[in-house]
Chain A
Amino acid sequence: MAAPILRCARPGRCWSLDYRPRRSRALFAEPVPGRVRGQSSAAAQEPRPGAHEWAAVVGLEIHAQISSNSKLFSGSQVTFLAPPNSLVSFFDASLPGTLPVLNRRCVEAAVMTGLALNCTVNKKSLFDRKHYFYADLPAGYQITQQRLPIAVNGSLTYSLGVGAQWSPSATKTVRIKQIQLEQDSGKSLHDDTRSQTLIDLNRAGVGLMEVVMEPDMSCGNEAATAVRELQLILRALGTSQANMAEGQLRVDANVSVHHPGEPLGVRTEVKNLNSIRFLAKAIDYEIQRQIEELQNGGKILNETRAFDEKLGCTVSMRDKEGKQDYRFMPEPNLPPLILYDAESLPVAADPQQVVNIDWIRERLPELPSVTRGRLVEQYGILPEHSFVLLNEDGLLEFFQTVMKETRAEPKKVIGWILTIFLGYLKQRNLAVSESPLSPSSLAELLNLLDSKVISLPAAKQVFEELWQNQGKTPGQIIREKKLELLQNQEELEEICQAVLAKHPQQVMAVKNGNQKVVNKLIGIVRRATGGRADPGRIKQILEKQLQ
């Protein structure tokens, strides 16, 4: 299929769409009312006669709160819960006569993030004012970097389908347009009883990194996965805790639909997304809404929409005032931000006043993609396992603690962690941190299993018991419930003999060549031993006795 490059100029946004072969886009065939069909990344489908395909385009603007002690331009504290207006300096309250003073840590955080996202870090970047009036913005403008941001032209790679659906061909890349430093605004609370707004400026002036992702994504799942990977990267770097629930990571999605081969459609902006799950839901809903609207002959308005979690839909937030004019102007109180590298570093420079990109690059922490590769090599697990380990908060640490305390093989441990342990957590909607089972307990259990003190079914029973968290160790549970493997050869042989004696028909069947019946006999013996015999040994003994 030909690969035309589509360019579309739109006020405020201009991007080129490299039209890749259909295989890697999520396409929506003419939808059955209420459902999105045809979302497939498999081989290209032949268009059904009369079916008109749609392609969706999703871009993201992500604001990540920088993890620092003090704010971007002032020395007031950055922390989550505090009495209203107690973390506000005169500058944050925009009192006359105050000036912005740039926080070194925020610059370093932006450089680290830029490097981790393969960006070009601009050695010179500029600060601007973006003007608009709102009660939570006391100065009437936000200091940001519109003309020349600190980092540009990067990329983020992510893999679709974690766990069971993981496949090597599902690796995707989204381009990072830019990363810029900017101020956060305060918080407004609406007091409906008294019809007034209450303003808390604790958050005003906190440093943000705005990460702009090009519209290279085509559905909610891709966007959600990309955001998740960004979250993991930011946490690995320590530049942001990126917790969406606490507002440390805010995502706005730009969504549009069009027919492949035609110009891009009008986009809407979706805001108020509080979790990765809602992000995916909102984007998919908006894509579907736009398709239906256009199919019914309607038009898409270039507007802002909010996601209503309860209804699961987007609603228009349109401001009747018309398009905002931010009247950007250079921030007159801040000179350009100059960064250095090993070559350009001035000789007698005060190290406190100089940010060296190369120095930071050498000390970047291990990124998630590297961690995954290392886990595969170190433990011999599969790549898809490493994805799940990193994707679930706290799971990697849990796994590594178990590995330290157990003799069992990594492959066996991974099996227990990813299937049984994670399964229990998911069923009860628990996080790893809320697990009633400690890694030491699991390690002990696996050791007992490994040294054949108990059988696999018995181990699962013990696991269930441990989950009840009654403070017992695996050893205690085993003793109490008498789950130890029957090691005594004579005893086992006696039981097998007895079972064979009770089931003469099955014995005849085996002697006549029906091997499947052997399994049945093994099952009966196992039940007779109360699950305390190793099935392998039973089989051995039975086969010997049946000759």
Chain B
Amino acid sequence: MKRGISEVSHNLWPVASDAPSGAPGRAGPRRDGCGSGGAGSTSRELPFAGSDSEKASGPSPERIEHLERLALVDFRNREGVARLQAAIEFAGQLRAVDTDGVAPMASVLEDRCLYLRADDVVEGSCAEALLQNSQQTVEEYFVPPPGNITLPKQSEQGPVPKS
């Protein structure tokens, strides 16, 4: 499940100086106050809840490690971490929108009806087909790869973050 940020399409990650293209999608009453949008985050302060030093110079090595463990993503090298910072800055453009008094949108589907299914048994009984997907099985059980292996530490000495 490891995937690097570099796999993501370049088009989604603008360089910090690009002006944002304005609010995506709907022009409903909710989004009225954001036509022009911000001018991109010109200040280097990164918009996330980190320590002061992180706000200035990006996520700390401990936080990178923490994120890697949480999401099983490998940032792999300095370029990967730089992309992470660019992603954070990109998301920061949302702060330009004034959302005071506006209820957060739950989902783009929120005007749809949630379909309710009748309580009938219509699926299952396909153990053989499912087990074929697994590299290893024992009788009719899946055998997962061994879990809880500690990920290799980064070259810099970073203590395991404790909350």
Q: How many residues of chain B are within 8 Å of chain A by beta carbon?
A: 44
Provide the B107-143 mask, 1 if CB < 8 A to any CB of A, else 0: 1111111111111111111110011010000111111
Given A101-B117, A104-B117, A331-B107, verify A198-B142 contact (CB < 8 Å): yes
Tell me which residues across on chain A come within 8 A of B116, comparing CB atoms. Answer: 102-104, 107, 352-353, 355
Contact check: which of B139, B143, B161 meets A322 at CB < 8 Å? Answer: B161
Q: Which of A283-337 contact B (CB under 8 A)?
A: 320-323, 325, 327, 330-337
Establish whether residues B119 and A198, one from each chain, have CB atoms under 8 Å apart when the complex forms.
no
Given A69-B119, A70-B120, A335-B114, verify A83-B141 contact (CB < 8 Å): no
Provide the B9-24 mask, 1 if CB < 8 A to any CB of A, else 0: 0000000000000000
Tell me which residues across on chain B come within 8 A of A3, comparing CB atoms. Answer: none
Tell me which residues across on chain A come within 8 A of B162, comparing CB atoms. Answer: 322-323
Establish whether residues B107 and A330, one from each chain, have CB atoms under 8 Å apart when the complex forms.
yes
Given A85-B131, A85-B140, A325-B70, verify A135-B147 contact (CB < 8 Å): yes
Q: Is A36 an interface residue (CB 8 A)?
A: no
Q: Is B163 an interface residue (CB 8 A)?
A: yes
Provide the B146-163 mask, 1 if CB < 8 A to any CB of A, else 0: 110000000000001111
Q: Is A16 an interface residue (CB 8 A)?
A: no
Rounded to whole angstroms, the CA-CA distance of A102 and B131 in the bound complex is 26
Q: How far is the CB of A78 from chain B (nearest CB, A)?
A: 8
Tell me which residues across on chain A come within 8 A of B112, comparing CB atoms. Answer: 335
Tell me which residues across on chain B come within 8 A of A90, comparing CB atoms. Answer: 123, 126, 130
Tell me which residues across on chain A come within 8 A of B146, comparing CB atoms. Answer: 195-197
Q: How far is the CB of B132 from chain A (nearest CB, A)?
A: 11
Contact check: which of B107, B123, B143 meets A89 at CB < 8 Å? Answer: B123
Tell me which residues across on chain A come within 8 A of B108, comparing CB atoms. Answer: 332
CB-CB nearest in chain B for A207: B119
Rounded to whole angstroms, the CA-CA distance of A83 and B131 in the bound complex is 13
Rounded to whole angstroms, the CA-CA distance of A333 and B121 in the bound complex is 22
Tell me which residues across on chain A come within 8 A of B130, comparing CB atoms. Answer: 85, 88, 90, 93, 201
Tell me which residues across on chain B come within 8 A of A103, comparing CB atoms. Answer: 116-117, 119
Given A85-B140, A88-B127, verify A75-B122 contact (CB < 8 Å): yes
Q: Is A86 an interface residue (CB 8 A)?
A: yes
Q: Is A199 an interface residue (CB 8 A)?
A: yes
Q: Is A76 an interface residue (CB 8 A)?
A: yes
Q: Is B144 an interface residue (CB 8 A)?
A: yes
Tell me which residues across on chain B come within 8 A of A84, comparing CB atoms. Answer: 127, 139-141
Q: How far is the CB of B143 from chain A (nearest CB, A)?
A: 5
Q: Is A359 an interface residue (CB 8 A)?
A: no
Rounded to whole angstroms, the CA-CA distance of A89 and B141 in the bound complex is 15
Rounded to whole angstroms, the CA-CA distance of A322 and B160 in the bound complex is 8
Q: Is B96 an interface residue (CB 8 A)?
A: no
Q: Is B8 an interface residue (CB 8 A)?
A: no
Provide the A122-149 mask, 1 if CB < 8 A to any CB of B, else 0: 0000100001011100001000000000
Contact check: which of B114, B126, B141, B163 meets A323 at CB < 8 Å? Answer: B163
Rounded to whole angstroms, the CA-CA distance of A200 and B118 in the bound complex is 25
Q: How far is the CB of B138 from chain A (nearest CB, A)?
A: 6
Establish whether residues B126 and A353, one from each chain, have CB atoms under 8 Å apart when the complex forms.
no
Q: Which of A77-117 contact B (CB under 8 A)?
A: 77, 83-91, 93, 95, 101-107
Tell me which residues across on chain A come within 8 A of B1, comparing CB atoms. Answer: 140
Q: How far is the CB of A23 from chain B (nearest CB, A)?
A: 39
Q: Is A65 an interface residue (CB 8 A)?
A: no
Rounded to whole angstroms, the CA-CA distance of A11 and B108 in the bound complex is 31
Establish whether residues A335 and B123, one from each chain, have CB atoms under 8 Å apart when the complex forms.
no
Establish whether residues A334 and B114, one from each chain, have CB atoms under 8 Å apart when the complex forms.
yes
Establish whether residues A352 and B70, one from each chain, have CB atoms under 8 Å apart when the complex forms.
no
Establish whether residues B127 and A75, one from each chain, have CB atoms under 8 Å apart when the complex forms.
no
Rounded to whole angstroms, the CA-CA distance of A88 and B124 in the bound complex is 5
Q: Which of B69-122 contact A (CB under 8 A)?
A: 69-72, 106-122
Q: How far is the CB of A447 from chain B (nearest CB, A)?
A: 46
Establish whether residues B117 and A197, one from each chain, have CB atoms under 8 Å apart when the complex forms.
no
Establish whether residues B131 and A334, one from each chain, have CB atoms under 8 Å apart when the complex forms.
no
Tell me which residues across on chain B come within 8 A of A42, comparing CB atoms. Answer: none
Tell me which residues across on chain A come within 8 A of B115, comparing CB atoms. Answer: 101-102, 353
Contact check: which of B110, B117, B140, B147 meets A336 at CB < 8 Å? Answer: B110
Q: How far is the CB of A95 from chain B (nearest CB, A)?
A: 8
Q: Is A68 an interface residue (CB 8 A)?
A: yes
Q: Is A189 an interface residue (CB 8 A)?
A: yes
Establish whether residues B141 and A198, one from each chain, have CB atoms under 8 Å apart when the complex forms.
yes
Q: Is A362 an interface residue (CB 8 A)?
A: no
Rounded to whole angstroms, the CA-CA distance of A159 and B69 in the bound complex is 47
Tell me which residues across on chain A come within 8 A of B119, comparing CB atoms. Answer: 68-70, 103-106
Establish whether residues B106 and A330, one from each chain, have CB atoms under 8 Å apart when the complex forms.
yes
Q: Which A residues contact B (CB, under 8 angstroms)? A: 11, 68-70, 74-77, 83-91, 93, 95, 101-107, 126, 131, 133-135, 140, 189, 191, 194-201, 320-323, 325, 327, 330-338, 352-353, 355
Add 13 more A-B contacts to A85-B131, A93-B133 (CB < 8 A): A75-B117, A76-B123, A77-B121, A88-B124, A91-B123, A135-B144, A195-B146, A197-B143, A325-B70, A330-B106, A337-B114, A338-B113, A352-B116
- 8 pairs, CB–CB < 8 Å, chain A vs chain B: A68-B119, A198-B141, A199-B142, A199-B143, A323-B162, A325-B70, A335-B114, A338-B114
6 cross-chain pairs, A with B, having the tightest CB-CB distances, nearest first: A105-B119, A89-B123, A198-B141, A76-B124, A135-B144, A75-B122
